[in-house]
Amino acid sequence: MARAAGAGGALESITRVVDEIADMNNRIAGAAEEQSTTAVEINRNVENITDISSETEQGGRLTAEVGEELAGLATRMQELVARFKTAS
């Protein structure tokens, strides 16, 4: 009878430890899922930053081109104004 009681106690201990391990596994799985979700979000943000950087670069190039065109127009305007003579 003592052996049966000891075996019962051992089984209870084993059951308790298995339950604790199962709980830990659930917490680990939850944390891993959160990390995965966070990694996906970070990846999406990096892609957005890359897109915005590309757009900014294109905008900078366009601004430089327009600036050069305006400088050319200003030079041309100065040449045309210099041709006018006023009556003295």
Render pLDDT for 16-55 as a digit per residue (tens, 0 to 9): 999 999 999 999 999 999 999 999 999 999 999 999 999 9
Evaluate the CA torsion angle 50, 54, 60, 63 in order and state its sign.
negative
Cβ-in-10-Å burial (0-12, 13-18, 19+) of 79 comes to exposed
Dist. CA 29–CA 23, nearest whole Å:
10
Q: Which two tokens mark 51?
A: 């897109």
DSSP state of 86: -
Q: pLDDT band at 61, cuts 50/70/90?
A: very high
